[in-house]
């Protein structure tokens, strides 16, 4: 399996959690797959098949799918055939736009009346100020980026909570579920790019997400057996969405030779995709965070885990139990359930 097989699987899984929430209590929702490189027809078809599974929830609602990029004509033919095969309802509409998908995206979203309703954009290419504003106009608006890590570095840029002393810049992109791109991801006017690199400043696919107004963002690298890597980033205003994204990330089928790498890990260690991941790297990151920021509640540490590591919030408690068992950290109060208000601190005598 290739890296793009894994990113497509991740997109499909996340769409499976996004659609029910997007359609709940709302009258319309929009999904866009945009690229400057040839459109991934398999990814577009897979997304449409996910939407068709929720046809029964479309009564009185509208779900719009936009596919924009070179080769959209081929996607149009295939998607029309899938709609006929599955007999999708009229409430599920598909629009395909050829040419530079990133350039036409803001206009396409406006024409689809995406503002003010749930919106998810999977993007390959340059996200300029107009594109970022268009995505943020969704309520909520979410942006999924798949990029190529800068040569010789990986991002250590922070999410909403931030890491001290880290500066950000742009990073070249690759097709969200297809092949490599040739443009910088989330480039734009000054003040709209963000990111950093392992061991120093470097380009980052999360560039601009925080400065563009996304309250939360997170990133993870997918690495194949030959060392090729893709950086997956999600910008969202919703903690619930970010947690769902992390859950789907660790639930992706265990493709041979593809592993995860935490962009914040200075050692660049690789992790097997598993529902019970190795907690050792998370323990190290939690200790570093406690050293830099001082004592933190379990709730605060869960938030840090969600936004600044590849792990899920649920993994935090398991990692903390290991640190407590080794007396590397202390807790206040000393006994009882490890609830959200329990304060965790580094043990003074631990030497860690």
Does position 49 have pLDDT exceeding 70, yes or no? yes
Mean pLDDT of the chain: 82
Number of residues written out for the chain: 352
Tokens of 78: 């295939």
- The answer to whether the CB of 123 falls within 8 A of the CB of 207 is no
pLDDT digits (tens, 9 = 90+) for 29-46: 999 999 988 999 999 999
Would you place residue 182 in the very low, low, confident or very high pLDDT band (cuts 50, 70, 90)?
A: very low
CA-to-CA dists, residue 136 to 76, 106, 130, 195, angstroms:
27, 11, 10, 19
Please compute the mean of the pLDDT values over residues 66-88 and round it to a whole number.
95
271 has which bridge partners?
Answer: 260
Under a CB-based contact definition with an 8 Å cutoff, are residues 40 and 290 in contact? no
- Of 198 and 132, the structure prediction assigns the larger pLDDT to 132
Q: What angle do CA 87, 92, 93 make, to 5 degrees?
A: 105
Cα–Cα nearest to 35, from 3, 9, 70? 70
Exposure string for 150-174, b = 16+ CB within 10 A, e = fewer: beebbbbbbbbeebeebebbbbbbb
Distance (Å, whole) CA 60 – CA 114 = 17
Query: Which segments within the chain are labelled E, that is strand?
Result: 28-35, 62-68, 92-97, 119-124, 141-147, 171-174, 180-185, 216-223, 229-236, 259-261, 270-271, 296-297, 329-332, 343-346
By mean pLDDT, which of 69-73, 182-186, 334-338 is the weakest? 182-186
CATH 3.40.50 fits 3-271, yes or no: yes
User: Which pTM was predicted?
Assistant: 0.82
User: Would you state the structure tokens that stand for residue 9, as one six-digit string?
Assistant: 């699987």
Alpha-carbon span 111 to 105, nearest angstrom: 10
Query: Is 22 within 8 Å of 51 (Cβ atoms)?
Result: no
**Per-residue pLDDT tens digits for 256-271:** 779 999 877 778 889 9
Query: Does the pLDDT at position 183 exceed 70?
Result: no
> Is 205's pLDDT higher than 50?
no
Residue 350, pLDDT above cutoff 50: no
Tell me the pairing of strands 119-124 and 28-35.
Answer: parallel
Print burial letters for 23-45: b (CB count within 10 Å at least 16), e (below 16): beeeebbbbbbbbbbbbbbebbb
Q: Pick from 89, 28, 40, 103: which is nearest to 67 by CA? A: 40
Q: Are 212 and 235 in contact (CB under 8 A)?
A: yes
Residues 6+ apart with CB under 8 A from 72: 39, 96, 97, 98, 99, 101
Strand partners, 97: 68
Each domain of the chain, given as residue ranges in start order, spans: 3-271, 280-346
pLDDT attached to residue 207: 52
In the CATH hierarchy, which fold is given to the domain comprising 280-346?
Arc Repressor Mutant, subunit A (1.10.10)
Q: Tell me the backbone φ, ψ of residue 226, rounded to 5 degrees.
A: -95, 5
Can you give the C-alpha Rg of the chain in angstroms? Answer: 20
Planar angle of CA 235, 236, 239, nearest 5 degrees: 125
């Amino acid at each position: 399996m290739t890296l793009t097989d894994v990113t497509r699987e991740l997109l499909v899984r996340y769409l499976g959690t996004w659609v029910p929430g997007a359609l709940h209590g709302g009258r319309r929702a929009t999904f866009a797959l945009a690229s400057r490189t040839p459109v991934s027809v398999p990814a577009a078809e897979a997304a449409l098949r996910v939407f068709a599974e929720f046809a029964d929830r479309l009564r009185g609602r509208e779900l719009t799918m936009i596919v924009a990029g070179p080769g959209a004509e081929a996607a149009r033919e295939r998607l029309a055939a899938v709609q006929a095969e599955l007999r999708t309802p009229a409430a599920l509409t598909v629009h395909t736009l050829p040419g530079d998908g990133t350039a036409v995206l803001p206009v396409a979203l406006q024409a689809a009346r995406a503002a003010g309703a749930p919106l998810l954009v999977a993007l390959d290419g340059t996200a300029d100020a107009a594109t970022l504003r268009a995505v943020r106009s969704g309520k909520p608006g979410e942006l999924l980026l798949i990029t190529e890590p800068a040569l010789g570095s990986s991002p250590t840029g922070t999410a909403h909570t931030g890491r001290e002393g880290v500066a950000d810049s742009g990073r070249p992109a690759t097709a969200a579920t297809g092949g490599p791109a040739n443009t910088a991801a989330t480039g734009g006017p000054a003040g709209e790019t963000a990111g950093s690199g392992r061991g120093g400043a470097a380009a980052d696919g999360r560039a601009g997400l925080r400065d563009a107004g996304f309250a939360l963002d997170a990133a993870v690298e997918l690495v194949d057996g030959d060392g090729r890597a893709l950086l997956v980033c999600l910008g969202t205003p919703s903690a619930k969405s970010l947690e769902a994204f992390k859950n789907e990330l660790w639930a992706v089928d265990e493709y041979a030779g593809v592993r995860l790498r935490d962009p914040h890990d200075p050692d660049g260690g690789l992790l097997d995709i598993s529902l019970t991941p190795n907690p050792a790297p998370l323990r190290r990151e939690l200790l570093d965070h406690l050293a830099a920021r001082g004592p933190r509640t379990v709730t605060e540490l869960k938030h840090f885990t969600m936004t600044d590591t590849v792990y899920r919030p649920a993994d935090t408690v398991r990692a903390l139990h290991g640190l407590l068992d080794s007396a590397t950290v202390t807790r206040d109060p000393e006994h009882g359930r490890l609830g959200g208000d329990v304060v965790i601190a580094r043990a003074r005598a631990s030497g860690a």
